[in-house]
Chains A and B, each alone.
Chain A
Amino acid sequence: MTAILAAVFTISGLGLIFGLGLAIGSRIFAVSIDPRLEKIEELLPHLNCGACGYGGCSDCARALLEEEAEPAICPVASPETHREIAELLGKILEEEEKTTARIFCRGGYDAARRYLYEGIKTCQAANQIGGGVSACDYGCLRYYTCQKVCPFEAIGIDDRGNPVVDPELCRSCGLCVRHCPRDLIRIVPSKSEVDIRCSSRAKGKTVVKVCAVGCIACGKCVKECPVEAITLEDNLARIDYDKCVNCGKCIEVCPRNIISRV
């Protein structure tokens, strides 16, 4: 009996001593955490996509708190969240414009291929051999790396084999922009509805040979545009979003059907 009691007292006595030690230790060595850190982390999207340039959302929250980063650094979070973060940090945020990613190629199945490619099925790999598998030096390679990397499943494939961004789902994190080896994806203001979806800077004659829809720089859209929003540069027509009024007149005159409303 005494043996059992001795064991019980020893163990509970030891437990008591260690417990006290831990309790005192936790007071002495306590790390003071800014309560805002937890709140900021709560506000961030918890996707750890890395689009901000930091190693995940907690690291981004730390950077925000230490004022390393601007309140609107997270491209994924909504403008409301940005405002809430700015409030928490005691900053004033300027009104921001909603943006979306857009893919500037509509070649798809209408663009010729240079050769049969059987290597690794990513755009980066398909771009390495002989100047890329697509006959157009600027066009989409159609291995859809952009779709695979999109954390929001915002990129789909249309019936002509073109990757298309859904502006509703897109949070303009820029992952697809970074992964496209041909720089076909750009972040544009969401309010722009009409766009010229070609990136070919090749001469018209070359474009006609390799693609059924590419821009040949004929200049019809430039003449048609009532607000002079379209310019020709390097054999390619471009729209200035600040000037464009989304009237859609250019869509009708384009002989290559490369201008479309999103």
Chain B
Amino acid sequence: MPKFWTFKGGVRLPEHKERTAGKKIRDLPPPDRVIIPLAQNAGSPPRPVVEKGQAVEEGEVIASPSGPVSSTLHASVSGKVTALDDFPVPYGPPAPAVEIETDPESSSRRRLAPLSDPSPEEIRSRALEAGVVGLGGAGFPIQVKLAPPEGTEIDCAIINAAECEPFLTVDYRMMLESGPKVIDGLKLIMKAVGAGEGIIAIEANKMDAFYKLQSLVHREKNIRVELLQVKYPQGGEKQLIAALLGREVPSGGLPSAVGCLVQNVATAAALSEAVREGEPLIERVVTVSGPALKSPGNFRVRIGTPFSYLVEAAGGLPEGELKIISGGPMMGVAQAGLEVPVVKGTSGILVVPAVHRERNLPCLHCGDCLRGCPMGLNPGDLATLVEKERWAEFEEHGGRDCIECGCCAYSCSSGRDLVQLIKLGKEALKKVKS
């Protein structure tokens, strides 16, 4: 009987994964035009190297790294650059992006040279060249993660296959359909950082993926597959490390501080493709789901594909008042419209009916948010400090450590917008400090 690992705090959520879990990933043809925002990675956005009117080929570099923590962007379709302007993006106010009109005639794709036995340095530079960033949402450039700061030693590489957000099934489908690529990606990561141990951590609601991967790694001595309890946010980096290894990442620190490196399933597969096949990161799998959609599913689309194209593929926008979320229901961001493009960090698009309920009632001091918080913070208290603009105390009480998982707001019986308030507080704190 395998052991089910977990962490302190968190909440148990209805999963809603059945809508898309059984559906194979469908490849969608490129849309008429793509909008590729420059800022798709954490750190500094890459600098564009194309001009308006220029013809580009699929896989051609359109923006190159602009700093130590940056990435590369590639044209996801062949065609002509029609605009370099501000466009609506799924993660914030309109931001600079490259618009490419697809040329339906062209079918060529530029690739990098495949590497069969790369050195750690080659893996890192390939990750940068191919524009591989964390595909889980934050978009942290992987070559930076693969180069741990001096003096730290990484002994354990973890593939985060928890996929604890309800509705999303991207990682689950990837494991079933491209399991060998995921394991190859993990081996490359282990080689790049010199980690002696590799763990693939799966939540216990994905048993078939667990058995599938276990059958693939049973000959590998230093790779194991572990089962995790079904609890949110099991896939949080810090929660995952605490659950598997019992190590606590210090406040404000990175997993490398405790000798760990965590990568998401899709990222590992993308790294494997970039190294072995020379494929730049120009497409990704997106779960399109929601109770109101006719044919939800998992779709492989080009980066920059508008949401509307994906929703159309999933049966079109249903009638009535709707809420569209980019990402999962817990950490995703509500969208103002369907014209926003899929970026490297877009794991899902949810279309749910709008629910109106009374919100932001006075705090009852029941403590449910405290019990739910996986970081051991006091969310109700932090939110009140934000409302009162007491930034120094907010910082003192650990406001910065919040991972914005949403457990507190989910468990709040007064319906307070706790995460949003804490998010605002974190932003205000950044401003006050600068």
The reply to whether chain A is a binding partner of chain B is yes
Instruction: Find out whether the CB atom of A120 lies under 8 angstroms from the CB atom of B337.
Output: no
Q: A131-B88, A131-B94 are in contact. Are A125 and B424 (CB under 8 A)?
A: yes
Contacts of A132 in B (CB 8 A): 93
How distant is the Cα of A131 from the Cα of B339 in the complex, in angstroms?
13
Contacts of A130 in B (CB 8 A): 88, 334-337, 340
Task: Give the interface segment out of A38-46, A111-119, A189-197.
Answer: A111-119
How distant is the Cα of A110 from the Cα of B164 in the complex, in angstroms?
43
Contacts of B420 in A (CB 8 A): 119-120, 125, 128
For residue A262, CB closer than 8 A to chain B, the reply is: no
Measured CB to CB, the nearest residue on chain A to B355 is A118
For residue A232, CB closer than 8 A to chain B, the reply is: no
- Tally of chain A residues near chain B (CB < 8 A): 17
Q: Mark B334-350, 1 if CB is under 8 A from A, else 0.
A: 11110010000000000
For residue B360, CB closer than 8 A to chain A, the reply is: yes
Interface residues of A in 88-118 (CB under 8 A from B): 114-116, 118
How distant is the Cα of A33 from the Cα of B335 in the complex, in angstroms?
59
Contacts of B333 in A (CB 8 A): 129
For residue B417, CB closer than 8 A to chain A, the reply is: yes
Contacts of B428 in A (CB 8 A): 124
Interface residues of B in 233-279 (CB under 8 A from A): none
Instruction: Find out whether the CB atom of A120 lies under 8 angstroms from the CB atom of B417.
Output: yes
- Tally of chain B residues near chain A (CB < 8 A): 22
Instruction: Find out whether the CB atom of B88 lies under 8 angstroms from the CB atom of A116.
Output: no
Contacts of B359 in A (CB 8 A): 118
Contacts of A119 in B (CB 8 A): 417, 420
For residue B356, CB closer than 8 A to chain A, the reply is: yes
For residue B49, CB closer than 8 A to chain A, the reply is: no
How distant is the Cα of A116 from the Cα of B356 in the complex, in angstroms?
11
- A108 to chain B: closest CB distance in Å? 20
Out of A114, A116, A125, name the residue touching B321 (CB < 8 Å): A116
Interface centre among A122, A124, A127, A131, by most B CB within 10 Å? A131
Contacts of A114 in B (CB 8 A): 336-337
Q: A128-B92, A137-B94 are in contact. Are A115 and B321 (CB under 8 A)?
A: no
- B170 to chain A: closest CB distance in Å? 23
Measured CB to CB, the nearest residue on chain A to B417 is A120
- B346 to chain A: closest CB distance in Å? 14
Measured CB to CB, the nearest residue on chain B to A133 is B336
Measured CB to CB, the nearest residue on chain B to A127 is B93
- B187 to chain A: closest CB distance in Å? 40
How distant is the Cα of A131 from the Cα of B88 in the complex, in angstroms?
7
Contacts of A115 in B (CB 8 A): 334, 336-337
Instruction: Find out whether the CB atom of B424 lies under 8 angstroms from the CB atom of A131.
Output: no
Contacts of A116 in B (CB 8 A): 321, 354
How distant is the Cα of A131 from the Cα of B335 in the complex, in angstroms?
9
Measured CB to CB, the nearest residue on chain B to A129 is B334
Instruction: Find out whether the CB atom of A118 lies under 8 angstroms from the CB atom of B92.
Output: no
How distant is the Cα of A123 from the Cα of B305 in the complex, in angstroms?
31
Measured CB to CB, the nearest residue on chain A to B335 is A130
- B423 to chain A: closest CB distance in Å? 8
Q: A120-B420, A125-B424 are in contact. Are A131 and B92 (CB under 8 A)?
A: yes
Q: Mark B354-379, 1 if CB is under 8 A from A, else 0.
A: 10100110000000000000000000
Contacts of A120 in B (CB 8 A): 360, 417, 420-421, 424
- B219 to chain A: closest CB distance in Å? 49
Measured CB to CB, the nearest residue on chain A to B357 is A118
Measured CB to CB, the nearest residue on chain B to A124 is B424
Contacts of B335 in A (CB 8 A): 129-130
Out of A121, A122, A124, A131, name the residue touching B93 (CB < 8 Å): A131
- A232 to chain B: closest CB distance in Å? 20
Measured CB to CB, the nearest residue on chain A to B340 is A130
Measured CB to CB, the nearest residue on chain B to A130 is B336
Contacts of B354 in A (CB 8 A): 116
Interface residues of A in 118-159 (CB under 8 A from B): 118-122, 124-125, 127-132, 137
Measured CB to CB, the nearest residue on chain A to B423 is A128
How distant is the Cα of A120 from the Cα of B420 in the complex, in angstroms?
8
How distant is the Cα of A112 from the Cα of B420 in the complex, in angstroms?
24
- B94 to chain A: closest CB distance in Å? 5
Interface residues of B in 296-352 (CB under 8 A from A): 321, 333-337, 340
- A229 to chain B: closest CB distance in Å? 30
Interface residues of A in 14-57 (CB under 8 A from B): none
- B339 to chain A: closest CB distance in Å? 10
- A258 to chain B: closest CB distance in Å? 23
Q: Mark B412-430, 1 if CB is under 8 A from A, else 0.
A: 0000010011011001100
How distant is the Cα of A131 from the Cα of B356 in the complex, in angstroms?
22
Measured CB to CB, the nearest residue on chain B to A122 is B424
Measured CB to CB, the nearest residue on chain A to B416 is A120
- B264 to chain A: closest CB distance in Å? 25
17 more A-B residue pairs beyond the given contacts A119-B417, A129-B336, A130-B337, with a C-beta to C-beta distance below 8 A: A114-B336, A115-B336, A118-B359, A120-B417, A120-B420, A122-B424, A124-B424, A124-B427, A127-B93, A129-B333, A129-B334, A129-B335, A130-B88, A130-B336, A130-B340, A131-B92, A137-B94
Top 3 nearest A-B pairs by Cβ distance?
A130-B336, A131-B93, A114-B336
Instruction: Please list the residues of chain A having a beta carbon within 8 angstroms of any beta carbon in chain B.
Output: 114-116, 118-122, 124-125, 127-132, 137
Instruction: Please list the residues of chain B having a beta carbon within 8 angstroms of any beta carbon in chain A.
Output: 88, 92-94, 321, 333-337, 340, 354, 356, 359-360, 417, 420-421, 423-424, 427-428
Sample (6) of A-B pairs whose CB atoms are under 8 Å apart: A115-B337, A119-B417, A125-B421, A128-B420, A131-B94, A137-B94
